[in-house]
Amino acid sequence: MPPAVLAHPLLRRGPGYWLAGYRAMLRFDLASSRSWLATFGVVQILMGAGMAIIYGFYLGSMPRETATFLATGAPTLALIPLGMAMLPSAIAVHKIEGTYDFMWSLPVPRTVTAASSFTIFTLLALPGAAVSLGVAAWRYDLELHLSLWVVPAMLLVSLIATSVGFGVGHVVPDPGITNVIVNLIIFAVLMFSPIAFPIENFPGWLAAAHRVLPFWHMANVVRAALTEGLVSSVGNSYLVLGAWTLATWLLAGWALRRHR
Amino acid sequence: MTAASPPIVDLRSGPGYWWHSYRLMVRWELTALRVVLPVAAMVQILAGAGFVLSLGLFFGQVPPRAALFVSTGVLVITLVTIGLVLGPQLIAQQKAEQTYEFLWSLPVPRTTAALAWVTTNLILGLPGMAVALVVALLRYDLDLHVSPAVLPAVLLTLFTGTMIGYAVAHALGNPLLIAAITQLLIFVIIGFSPINFPADQLPGWLAAVHRWLPLAPMADTVRAALTEGVVTNVIRSYLVLGAWAAASVGVTALVLGRRR
């Protein structure tokens, strides 16, 4: 425990306490995941680069617009599995190992735990997202128009992904069920979501569902920050994503506030 | 041990003993895996059908050649993933849990253990293969010409895939290394080998390497038995595949035949 916390043993609130707790929690999380963090980062980068190339193998020669669509979907595809799959799995491991209750006994605000998870899983996802975009742009010889919107877009996508993962990880009591949910999410995202290909290809009912679900909108905000003229009504997507963030936070907040 | 065994307790050889042991081992495998098997079969079926369907979302208008390749390729993938990926992981788990040595202490010929595992794979692989084929036929207007060669093609593909996985799992000592190799393998099978798409969509050097690896010949033999005019020189594919089957049987025999 850092000295900053010990200095105020009676005052366990306020921004100073929160920050000190955040720093301590970040160090705790990093230290406890050090055995797999580096390996996982490398695998993540390889997967990101691999996916961008694999889609091309399946499609053969493709028109420039298809290639641009594919390349600008790659960062979103790299961000989602980390927050939505890896984070709940990491929480499930704590439950299996019996360290879960200990985690909650640490003298930090619960929002600190959430913020620390968000920070780590976002940082872990960013290299993979960047590499997959770079590899795709190089392989398909694309010209991208990077705007500063890429920062809020990527952060928002990662925030929702980690919030959903955090909520699922904590709300679902049985690690086995967490595992099943996680795999279903990955399956739906990788195979049946309009992230790397246009929503126009989807049958009507599935397209309608995706206008409510967050995945298409996540791809939209990232794509809008990387291209010009490919995405319309990006404001709408930001609104939908804002609503999803709020909803997942309410869910996560409810999960964390429960007394046991 | 069942009632049939006491009379032959002194005669641990001969076809009768072998057949009896084989039946026992198949029952042993199915019982040992009773928790994993339904899940694995479900995953096989979902992934197979999912692949076939998601390709339609991918392309919008699916070119007939792409539909033909992915529909026949998915069959091959469902046939070999259990043997190449799940099998080695199960054996790695036995090594990690230290039940591996016990299994080899069972009083059965070692060939029956290997063949029982191949049989289990066949039981597991066929439903997934059938479902994928039916889904493909319903979804796409496929030009299939099923010939009797489908029987040797499917059996040889399944046998070779299972035995390669078996050889790798028994030859390598470290369970983590086995897990890493099989994870990499599933990535290669789905993304970097000409199973779901034509070899000419791969870079030239990779296509050339695949001429000597077992994956492309597996796809070619099965595809040749289901279509007309798509695969050329299928005899070569049978020969390459046969050589891999013989080599993996040789390695397995060498590793398992050792006295310890």
pLDDT tens for each residue of A67-114: 888 888 888 988 888 888 888 888 888 888 888 888 888 888 888 888
pLDDT band at A236 (very low <50, low <70, confident <90, very high): very high
Q: What is the pLDDT of residue A218?
A: 94
For residues B90-97, average pLDDT: 82
Does residue B54 lie in a domain region? Answer: yes
- Residue in chain A nearest B52 by alpha carbon: A191
Does residue A19 lie in a domain region? Answer: no
- A202/B58 Cβ within 8 A: no
Backbone angles phi, psi at B35, to 5 degrees: -80, -40
Of B54, B196, B198, the CB nearest to A191: B54
Does residue A7 lie in a domain region? Answer: no
Q: What is the pLDDT of residue B6?
A: 53
pLDDT band at A157 (very low <50, low <70, confident <90, very high): very high
Considering only residues A256 and B76, tell me which one the structure prediction assigns the higher pLDDT.
B76
For the cut 80, the answer to whether the pLDDT of residue A259 exceeds it is no
The interface predicted TM-score (ipTM) is: 0.77
Does residue A27 lie in a domain region? Answer: no
Separation CA B217–CA B153 (nearest Å):
10
Does residue A204 lie in a domain region? Answer: yes
For residues B92-104, average pLDDT: 82
* Mean per-residue pLDDT over chain A, rounded: 85
Residues of the domain holding A234 = 41-257
pLDDT tens-place string over residues B207-222: 999 999 999 999 999 9
Q: What is the pLDDT of residue B127?
A: 85
Whether the CB of A58 is below 8 Å from some CB of chain B: the reply is yes
Whether the CB of B104 is below 8 Å from some CB of chain A: the reply is no
Q: What is the pLDDT of residue A214?
A: 92
Judge contact between A215 and A240, C-beta under 8 A: no
For residues A138-149, average pLDDT: 87
Whether the CB of A208 is below 8 Å from some CB of chain B: the reply is no
pLDDT tens-place string over residues B234-253: 999 999 999 999 999 999 88
Q: What is the pLDDT of residue B9?
A: 54
Distance to chain B for A242, nearest Cα, Å: 27
Q: What is the pLDDT of residue B32?
A: 84
Residues of A in contact with B190 (CB under 8 A): 54
Q: What is the pLDDT of residue A2?
A: 53
Q: What is the pLDDT of residue A224?
A: 92
pLDDT band at B123 (very low <50, low <70, confident <90, very high): confident
Q: What is the pLDDT of residue B195?
A: 92
- Residue in chain A nearest B61 by alpha carbon: A201
Q: What is the pLDDT of residue B139?
A: 87
Distance to chain A for B191, nearest Cα, Å: 5
Query: Cβ-count burial of A199 within 10 angstroms (0-12 exposed, 13-18 middle, 19+ buried)?
Result: middle
Q: What is the pLDDT of residue B237?
A: 94
Whether the CB of B187 is below 8 Å from some CB of chain A: the reply is yes
| A-B contacts at Cβ under 8 angstroms | 54
- Those of residues 232-251 in B touching chain A at CB distance below 8 A are none
Does residue B82 lie in a domain region? Answer: yes
For residues B165-190, average pLDDT: 85
How does DSSP assign B197-256, residue by residue? S-GGGS-HHHHHHHTTSSHHHHHHHHHHHH-SSS---HHHHHHHHHHHHHHHHHHHHHHH
Q: Please name which of B139, B98, B106, B83 lies closest in space to residue B25, comparing C-alpha atoms.
A: B106
pLDDT band at B174 (very low <50, low <70, confident <90, very high): confident
Does residue A247 lie in a domain region? Answer: yes
Structural domain count, chain A = 1
Q: Please name which of A151, A169, A155, A154 lies closest in space to residue A84, comparing C-alpha atoms.
A: A169
Q: What is the pLDDT of residue B228?
A: 86
pLDDT band at B1 (very low <50, low <70, confident <90, very high): very low
Q: What is the pLDDT of residue B214?
A: 94
Residues of A in contact with B50 (CB under 8 A): 187, 191-192
Q: What is the pLDDT of residue A11?
A: 66
pLDDT tens-place string over residues A20-43: 999 999 999 898 888 778 888 888
- B187/A50 Cβ within 8 A: yes
Query: Cβ-count burial of A204 within 10 angstroms (0-12 exposed, 13-18 middle, 19+ buried)?
Result: exposed
Does residue A172 lie in a domain region? Answer: yes
Q: pLDDT over 70 for what percent of chain B?
A: 95
- Those of residues 21-80 in B touching chain A at CB distance below 8 A are 46-47, 50-51, 53-60, 66, 70
Q: What is the pLDDT of residue A6?
A: 52
Residues of the domain holding B131 = 17-257
Q: What is the pLDDT of residue B209?
A: 94
Structural domain count, chain B = 1
For residues B120-147, average pLDDT: 87
Whether the CB of A54 is below 8 Å from some CB of chain B: the reply is yes
Does residue B233 lie in a domain region? Answer: yes
